[in-house]
Chain A
Amino acid sequence: MAKPRSIPFAPLVTLAATALLALSGCAQSSAETAPAPETTAKAATADLPAPFDGDPVSVALVRQSGAGDYFESWGAGAEAQAALANIELTITDARNDNAKQASDLEQAIASEPDAIIVDHGQTDTLQPLITRAVDAGIPVVVYDLALTDATGVVTTSQSDESMATGVLDQLIEDVGAGAKVGYVSATGYAALDRRAVVWNEFVEENDLDVVFSTGKVTDSTASDNIPLVDAALKQNPDVQAIFAPYDEITKGVVQAVSQNNLSSSVKVYGIDISNADLEVINAENSPWVATSATDPTAIGAAVVRTLALQLAGELEETDVQFPAITITQEFLADNDVDNVAALRVAEPTLTLDTTLVTDWLPAAS
């Protein structure tokens, strides 16, 4: 039996402990020096009012998911706007795990922040916790989250009705009533459910022949929808148009259409916009012909402005909707738009720089 090797355990443990502490140490400094996203912020022309004129205001941002172009840009906009308003954001990302989001919100409430922003989520899961936060006197702003009891809550959303309507008008204009169409989306998400309502109305009014309905939202939505749409296309290669009202899904649909060599005969209609989306739309022979856009960075910033105005007692509404515009492949080509910055120039209404701004709080994006 060999004598056990002597190993310097104590230094190792110390090292491990130091590494963990160092990790956390890095975090704080990186949070402070986090690179702000490109901003074209106008300078404030007035001093910050209470409660923003003292110590940083602590706000918990409880997100269902921060992954994907849309959510990343949204988060960047929120952080940039928070920095302008002397808000310290504590961000949690549940990565589409609804139980985790419930825990995150619960822990946020327990930490008694000055306010809470809830970004997306499931109604049944979050409603009781939001009610609890309101009862605890914590101001709550929700974004794209349907509530059954919004008492004391400021609700914000993109106008999903206007988004879906704009794109579907374009679809009818392109392929006409009675066309064979496919639908790729998921249920149980407030935004997608609101878009589905508009879709169902269009199907009815225009006598559309829905040959397939599929789709799901996962932690890797784009790639997980490819096999679903691929199978649907193999079954229905004669489909004329596909409505995929969420850009991560749309990208999966575009991929499936391309790999089935149907790009010339199938038109894809999406919703949302990002740099990566623009690249897909602008690609040669891309079937993605129209999308509806808000600028996620501008929206993320506008949600934080909504909260700031609410805390300062200057918000006059309890339900805020951010308008959308419809963008076609043609418009992008005509204006040489290949990124969101260029799109903001070509379509200045996207920046929301006149929405919810005051002399002390200009838009961050």
Chain B
Amino acid sequence: MTIPPVTTSRKTVGASGLTGLTRSSFGDRAAAGVVRWGFVAVTILLVAFFAFTEPNFRTVDNLFGMLKFIAPTAIAGLGVMMAMTVGGIDLSVGASAGFAVSIAAWTMVIGNQVGGVAIIVVLVCGLLIGALNALLIVVARIPDLLATLTTMFVIVGLKLLIVDGKSISSKMSLADGSTAPGSFTADFLWLDRGSIGPVPVPVVLFLAITALLWFLLERTRWGRALYAVGANAEAARLAGVRVQLYRTFAYMACGLLASIAGLLLGARIGQGDVSAGNSLLLDAVAVSLVGVSVLGIGRPNAWGTALGAVLIAVMVTGFTMIGLPYYAQDFGKGIVLLVALLFSFTFSRRRTVVVAGSHTN
């Protein structure tokens, strides 16, 4: 995996950054190195440990299997990351993904449309949900946590209303006694079950989206402006950044990413499972929080989020292979998140950590 070079244009984050390192002692450099590479090291250690003890872990199949399994969580986590770049948070990602699953199923099974239409409908819905969040936060000025929590309930409720509280499956009986005309089409199921060369489609999407967002955030003026808004909206405004526009953009990007995560879930389940997406929110938020600290960057970033997701996939798969029950896996995830947050907030030399609108000094 390519680790992105740290850009030097981090004045907006307000930290001394790498420039301070040249004058610091060896101890300080070692400390910074641990903050920066500690998580990568833990991930590599874990992978090495599982690869050594479990022959089935070290197969290419398993590598792609793990990445595929975590792809929806990672993509939703990248969505949360986008909201975090502007100093916000989005609690509606799980609901948006679940909405996407049901809407895709409805479009294909009840509406009898092909997969391509379902995908477009879902992506448009994702953008609309993001726009709704932006409307509540930017225009109605409701705090992000409360606004997106509200949206979460509204979307889950709307989904249940649309599908009468039912899971939509191919050839289901409708209220009037007839049978649903459509079914999940092969092109839609390809999103989960297909592969491009040897690489499963969800893995391709996961890596492509990560690379795209990395480029956007680290290599374009838009990215710098997003971070500027997250670090200090007022300063960004005075510097001429159109703050409201960037925040709207971030939430719409989040809605879009959540709906892509939902498309993958829908293709994996193969029916409009009403409970889909319920467990996605916490994992997505956890992944993006780990992402802030993983590479010692101290702010939301794409590769960090992706690495956080991979770490969770490695833990869940490895722990399962050695026979650890799921509740112990949650404990493991909790410890990793705890260590990540300690790195971000407690041990980091950086004075400003931009997470979920909370600025610590």
Query: Do these two chains really belong together in a complex?
Result: yes
Report which A residues bind B (CB closer than 8 A).
4, 6-7, 9-10, 12-13, 16-17, 19-21, 23-24, 27-28, 31, 66, 90-93, 95-100, 102-104, 106-107, 110-112, 122-125, 128, 187-188, 216, 218-219
| Smallest Cβ-Cβ distance to A127: which chain B residue | B270
B269 interface neighbour in A95, A111, A125, Cβ under 8 Å: A125
The answer to whether B38 touches A99 (Cβ under 8 A) is no
Contacts of A96 in B (CB 8 A): 275
| Smallest Cβ-Cβ distance to B71: which chain A residue | A103
B153 at the interface (CB under 8 A from A): no
Some 8 contacts from A to B, beta carbons below 8 A apart, are: A9-B31, A21-B49, A27-B328, A110-B65, A122-B169, A122-B269, A128-B270, A187-B166
The answer to whether B269 touches A102 (Cβ under 8 A) is yes
The answer to whether A13 touches B170 (Cβ under 8 A) is no
Q: How many residues of B contact A (CB 8 A)?
A: 59
B222 at the interface (CB under 8 A from A): no
The answer to whether B31 touches A24 (Cβ under 8 A) is no
The answer to whether A125 touches B271 (Cβ under 8 A) is yes
| Smallest Cβ-Cβ distance to A19: which chain B residue | B335
Known: A28-B322, A107-B65, A107-B66. 9 other contacts (CB 8 A): A9-B35, A12-B339, A13-B38, A13-B41, A17-B42, A21-B46, A31-B324, A110-B65, A125-B268
B59 at the interface (CB under 8 A from A): yes
B321 interface neighbour in A9, A17, A90, Cβ under 8 Å: A90
Given contacts A20-B332, A111-B62, contact A7 B271 (CB under 8 A): no
Q: How far is the CB of B27 from chain A (nearest CB, A)?
A: 6
Given contacts A97-B278, A110-B61, contact A16 B166 (CB under 8 A): no
* Shortest beta-carbon contacts, A-B, top 6: A111-B56, A9-B34, A31-B323, A124-B270, A103-B69, A27-B324
The answer to whether A24 touches B49 (Cβ under 8 A) is yes
How many angstroms between the C-alpha atoms of A12 and B49 in the bound complex?
Answer: 19
B227 at the interface (CB under 8 A from A): no
User: Which of A19, A28, A98, A123 lies at the interface centre, i.e. has the most chain B CB atoms within 10 A of its CB?
Assistant: A98
The answer to whether A107 touches B317 (Cβ under 8 A) is yes
The answer to whether B347 touches A7 (Cβ under 8 A) is yes
The answer to whether B41 touches A27 (Cβ under 8 A) is no
B268 interface neighbour in A27, A103, A219, Cβ under 8 Å: A103
How many angstroms between the C-alpha atoms of A13 and B59 in the bound complex?
Answer: 28
Contacts of A93 in B (CB 8 A): 325-326
The answer to whether A110 touches B56 (Cβ under 8 A) is yes
Contacts of A112 in B (CB 8 A): 56
B45 at the interface (CB under 8 A from A): yes
How many angstroms between the C-alpha atoms of A92 and B273 in the bound complex?
Answer: 20
B349 interface neighbour in A4, A122, A124, A216, Cβ under 8 Å: A4
The answer to whether A13 touches B42 (Cβ under 8 A) is yes
Contacts of B34 in A (CB 8 A): 9-10, 12-13
Contacts of B30 in A (CB 8 A): 9-10
The answer to whether B193 touches A128 (Cβ under 8 A) is yes
How many angstroms between the C-alpha atoms of A11 and B61 in the bound complex?
Answer: 35
